[in-house]
């Protein structure tokens, strides 16, 4: 018992080393540039694939493995420098949310680069020469390589720490981490330093990817799997803390390893499979830390984030005379089934569902200033709850409200934690929540159908026709969108905007900011749940993809394409996004790359989105500033 | 031409204009003081000169170059030292490290060393390994000036250097300013404390709501009671 416990602890420490290297790079980059680099997991994945290719080119042996690791690290470092010079450099002064989305554009782009270069299959990597055996610890075997890994992580961490504390360059980096403008006023060339730090951070991720090969094959899920873990580590350890990154990586990895080690246990007469609970364990660790220290174990409390007033346009009060385009659109939507073919009606149903999904995200993002990278959790929760209820015998008219209620309840749970954070930490937390929700749907075979999902979920005969279902969707989703729009000009909306623009001032006049934000998250979660429930009955089937991170980012893209700070924006964005996707997917298999480049360009060139840009033009033409 | 010559400088934060057609000149080895109430634009003017934050238009001639479109680190490398109002010491760095961050190659002339800076500010010598965050306000003020000197500046901007400091520290800083003048460094200080201004400065500029209202010697300023009443009385 003790022996297996010890072995699992060592196992956890070996995993922690890899996690730590990636988290360390992320933290270094964040410290100096204040950008949370979503693409850090992609650098990790790229490192693994590059090392595989190097090995294939050079052959086995010491050179093949260690040379490959070195090559992968350096090459990914160069990729990082190029990304910094061409993309990141342009967004340092942009709001945090846009920065995150830009770097997610890089994630999508690199995903397709890897797909194009290495194909869709998993590739088994080389094993470390001379370290393929096991050592015996208390009579149990433990891989030699893992023992090396266990030492290597802290060793590399120590060298980075020495680099930062014992060299002039490191001293300047620490100075710029604290106050980059003052560092510039002392003659430090920030641009050069940012490129250097970004390259170093990318190099560490690439190295970790190459070193991961003996433990797992190079595969396409490496990027998002590791980045979700790294975000958990960063939230738990405290953003910007080097020792925090290591301690948190150890805690998370060791707890996970213990869960696997415990395996199946009978408690109170019920069978528990701890090995399937690794993600729940991760969630519980994170939750406990956030309750006790919302800023992480080694972090410092965040100062309230200030939104610069210039970047937010005041929201105009709706003018009845200007609502005629809306009436026209409503009329056109009612007439659509008379004029269009079956395919168009189905596409229009999808667009309306996603318009609701995007509008619900737009509510908390635009009015609340809370970036969510895991909004698909509520969409998927609504879809799964409705589907499971239906499978259990509930009719459509009960299953859909059940989906809404379940998504609302989930939002209540996640939201309780979310309102304790803000800015990038919040974005990372929402992503981690969504990844955990996804993993539960993926692993809980008996209820969710696991990776196969659920099939045969159809609406009652009354709504079984595509046109009838279209009208039902239009009615339900349309009503929900109108409620969201209305709430923007109701007290909830006013208070959300007040809290977004100045949390301190809002609190000083008696607004309970957390309660307001919590309510908004619950409303948005329930609305997203309705979208999910409508979606599952329109498709008839459901898979874990419906709550994956890319689905969350679809919603972000829709909101962004339309414009964050407008009410109509997310809805317009959803329509444009769905039409574009429909069109591009037919033309090329590399939809991710197209979307990624689109996101990068939008965030750099049109940060206001379509509706925001149009409104800016109109205001300029009407003689505004 | 003067060492620093500013002509028709306008500056904005977002849509709010802060400076309106500001012109002034300071010679090498001369100390000029900017006087004005809170919010007059003194700190903004200094930030404009080093290229931080505000949007700016006009010309800022310094030693044969125009700084208006230069990036901040290049301006510093041309020999423009900056001591901000809130000091902005690197709190996690030690005194020695703070000085190391400020080090730049000398553009001719003897280069400043930490030892030379400690001669100017003796209390710092004993706290080389102390972190910036563990120093008193006066010690931080000495350190931030010493840090700027490590870049071997030919001109030094000091934003409210005497604010909130004990008289004994103010005296040390006044002494340091006199020594820098003697070495030919040009200085521009902003002050609300006329007493300190008289002790260290040769000339004064009165700044009010972004406009220069007076330029002349401190004696001339003292003689003009109406001007003092209008722009400086609280």
Q: What is the pLDDT of residues A516-525, one digit of tens each?
A: 889 999 999 9
Q: How many domains are there within chain B?
A: 1
CA distances from A118 to A208, A328, A515, B213 (A): 19, 49, 48, 70
Work out the average pLDDT over A567-579: 85
Task: Look at B52 and A308 and tell me if their CB atoms are within 8 Å.
Answer: no
**A625 has pLDDT over 50:** no
Residue A274: the pLDDT is 67
pLDDT of residue A312: 58
**A474-505 confidence digits (pLDDT tens):** 888 888 888 888 888 888 888 888 888 888 88
pLDDT at B54 over 80: no
Domain range for B204: 4-231
CATH for the A2-292 domain, from 1.10.390, 3.30.70, 1.20.120, 1.10.3470:
1.10.3470
User: Which class in CATH covers the domain with range A347-621?
Assistant: mainly alpha
Q: What is the CATH number of the domain that holds B134?
A: 3.40.50.300
Which pLDDT score is estimated for A394?
84
| Mean pLDDT calculated for residue range A389-418 | 90
Domain positions in chain A: 2-292, 347-621
The contacts of residue A19 (CB under 8 Å, 6+ apart) are A226, A229, A230, A233, A249, A252, A253
Do A2-292 and A347-621 agree at the fold level?
A: yes
The minimal CB distance from A186 to the residues B14, B92, B101 is found for B101
- The chain-wide mean pLDDT, for chain A, equals 85
Residue whose token pair is 């350890």: A237
Per-residue model confidence (pLDDT) at position A372 = 85
- pTM score, whole prediction: 0.85
* Token pair listed for A92: 């340092």
A178/B91 CB distance under 8 A: yes
Bridge partners (DSSP) listed for residue A265: A272
Which of residues A419 and B190 earns the better pLDDT score? Answer: B190
Quick: pLDDT tens for A122-140: 998 888 888 888 888 888 8
- Mutation target to probe the A interface, by most A beta carbons within 10 A, among B73, B81, B94 is B73
Q: Residues of B with CB below 8 A from A183's CB?
A: 101
To 10 degrees, the CA torsion angle through A211, A216, A217, A223?
-80
The residue behind tokens 């396409």 is A220
Q: How far is B185 from chain A (nearest CA, A)?
A: 17
- Going through A130-206 in order, the beta strands assigned E by DSSP cover 134-137, 140-143
Helix axes A342-362, A513-539, angle to 10 degrees: 170
CA angle B18, B21, B27 (to 5 degrees): 105
The pLDDT, as a whole number, for residue A270 is 63
With beta carbons less than 8 A apart as the criterion, state whether B214 and B224 touch: yes
pLDDT per position as a tens digit, A447-467: 887 778 887 778 877 777 778
Q: What is the mean pLDDT of residues A145-164?
A: 93
ipTM rounded to 2 decimals: 0.93
Q: Whole-angstrom Cα distance, residue A26 to residue A21? A: 9
CA distance A53 to chain B (A): 42
Phi, psi dihedrals of residue B213, rounded to the nearest 5°: -105, -15
Provide Rg for chain A, Cα atoms: 25
- Among B73, B84, B148, whose Cβ lies nearest the Cβ of A189? B73
Alpha-carbon dihedral B24, B27, B33, B34, rounded to 10 degrees = 20
d(CA B82, nearest CA chain A) in Å: 7
Q: Which residues of B touch A309 (CB under 8 A)?
A: 14
- Cβ separation B73–A181 shorter than 8 A: no
| DSSP single-letter state for residue A310 | G
What pLDDT, on a 0 to 100 scale, did the predictor assign at position A579?
86
Average pLDDT value for residue range A60-84: 92
The answer to whether the beta carbons of residues A282 and A256 sit under 8 Å apart is yes
Measured between beta carbons, the chain B residues lying within 8 angstroms of A184 are: 52, 71-73, 76
Residues of A in contact with B71 (CB under 8 A): 184
Tell me: the pLDDT tens digits for A94-104? 777 778 888 98
Percent of chain A whose predicted confidence (pLDDT) is above 90: 32
């Amino acid at each position: 018992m003790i022996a297996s416990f010890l072995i699992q602890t060592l196992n956890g420490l070996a995993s922690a080393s890899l996690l730590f290297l990636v988290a360390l790079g992320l933290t270094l980059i964040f410290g100096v540039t204040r950008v949370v680099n979503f693409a850090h997991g992609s650098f990790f994945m790229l490192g693994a694939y590059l090392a595989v290719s190097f090995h294939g080119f050079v052959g086995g042996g010491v050179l093949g493995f260690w040379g490959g690791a070195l090559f992968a690290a350096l090459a990914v470092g160069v990729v990082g420098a190029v990304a910094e010079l061409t993309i990141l450099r342009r967004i340092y002064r942009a709001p945090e949310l846009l920065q995150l989305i830009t770097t997610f554009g890089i994630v999508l782009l690199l995903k397709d680069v890897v797909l194009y270069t290495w194909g869709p299959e998993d590739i088994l990597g080389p094993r470390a020469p001379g370290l393929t055996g096991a050592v015996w610890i208390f009579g149990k075997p433990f891989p030699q390589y893992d023992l090396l890994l266990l030492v290597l992580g802290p060793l590399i961490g120590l060298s980075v720490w020495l680099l930062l504390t014992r060299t002039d360059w490191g001293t300047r980096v620490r100075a710029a981490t604290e106050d980059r403008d003052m560092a510039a006023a002392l003659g430090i060339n920030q641009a050069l330093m940012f490129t250097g730090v970004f390259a170093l951070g990318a190099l560490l991720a690439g190295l970790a990817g190459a070193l991961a090969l003996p433990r797992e094959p190079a595969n396409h899920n490496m990027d998002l799997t590791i980045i979700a873990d790294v975000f958990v580590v960063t939230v738990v350890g405290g953003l910007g803390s080097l020792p925090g990154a290591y301690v948190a990586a150890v805690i998370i990895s060791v707890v996970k390893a213990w869960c696997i080690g415990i395996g199946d246990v009978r408690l109170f007469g019920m069978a528990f499979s701890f090995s399937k609970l690794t993600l729940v364990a991760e969630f519980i660790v994170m939750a406990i830390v956030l309750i006790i220290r919302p800023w992480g174990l080694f972090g410092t409390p965040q100062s309230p984030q200030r939104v610069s007033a210039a970047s937010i346009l005041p929201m105009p009060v709706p003018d009845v005379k200007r609502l005629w385009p809306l009436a026209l659109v409503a009329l056109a939507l009612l007439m659509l089934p008379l004029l269009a073919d079956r395919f168009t009606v189905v596409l229009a149903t999808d667009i309306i569902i996603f318009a609701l999904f995007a509008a619900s995200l737009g509510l908390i993002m635009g009015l609340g200033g809370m970036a969510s990278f895991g909004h698909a959790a509520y969409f998927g929760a609504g879809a799964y709850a409705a589907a499971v209820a239906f499978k259990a015998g509930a009719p459509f008219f009960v299953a859909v409200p059940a989906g809404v209620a379940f998504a609302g309840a989930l939002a209540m749970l996640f939201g309780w934690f979310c309102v304790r954070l803000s800015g990038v930490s919040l974005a990372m937390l929402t992503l981690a929540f969504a990844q955990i929700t996804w993993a539960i749907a993926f692993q809980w075979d008996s209820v969710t159908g696991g990776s196969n999902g659920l099939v045969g979920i159809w609406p009652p005969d009354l709504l079984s026709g595509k046109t009838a279902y279209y009208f039902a969707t239009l009615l339900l989703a349309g009503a929900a969108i109108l409620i969201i729009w209305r709430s923007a000009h109701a007290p909830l909306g006013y208070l959300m905007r007040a809290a977004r623009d100045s949390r301190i001032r809002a609190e000083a006049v008696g607004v309970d900011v957390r309660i307001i934000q919590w309510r908004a998250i619950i409303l948005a979660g329930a609305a997203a749940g309705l979208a999910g429930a409508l979606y599952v009955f329109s498709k008839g089937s459901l898979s874990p993809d419906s709550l994956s991170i890319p689905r969350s980012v679809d919603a972000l893209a829709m909101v962004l394409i339309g414009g964050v700070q407008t009410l109509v924006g997310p809805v317009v964005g959803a329509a444009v996004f769905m039409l574009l996707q429909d069109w591009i997917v037919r033309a090329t298999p590399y939809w991710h790359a197209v979307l990624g480049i689109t996101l990068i360009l939008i965030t750099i060139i049109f940060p206001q989105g379509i509706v925001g840009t149009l409104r800016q033009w109109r205001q300029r033409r009407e003689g505004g500033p | 031409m003067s060492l620093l010559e500013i002509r028709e400088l306008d500056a904005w934060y977002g849509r709010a204009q802060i400076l309106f057609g500001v012109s002034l000149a300071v010679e090498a080895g001369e100390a000029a003081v900017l006087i004005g109430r809170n919010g007059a634009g003194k700190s903004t003017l200094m930030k404009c000169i080093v290229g931080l934050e505000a949007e700016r238009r006009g010309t800022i001639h310094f030693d044969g170059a125009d700084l208006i479109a230069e990036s901040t680190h290049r301006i510093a490398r041309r020999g423009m030292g900056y001591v901000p109002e809130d000091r902005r010491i690197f709190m996690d760095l030690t005194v020695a490290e703070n000085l190391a961050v400020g080090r730049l190659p000398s553009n001719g002339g003897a280069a400043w060393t930490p030892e030379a800076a400690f001669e100017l500010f003796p209390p710092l010598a004993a706290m080389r390994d102390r972190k910036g965050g563990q120093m008193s306000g006066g010690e931080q003020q000495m350190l931030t000036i010493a840090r700027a000197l490590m870049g071997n500046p030919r001109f030094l901007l000091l934003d409210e250097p005497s604010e909130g400091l004990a008289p004994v520290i103010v005296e040390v800083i006044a002494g340091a300013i006199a020594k820098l003048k003697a070495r030919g460094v040009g200085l521009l200080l902003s002050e609300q404390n006329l007493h300190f201004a008289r002790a260290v400065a040769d000339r004064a500029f009165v700044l009010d709501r972004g406009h220069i209202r007076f330029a002349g010697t401190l004696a001339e300023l003292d003689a003009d009671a109406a001007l003092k009443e209008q722009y400086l009385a609280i």
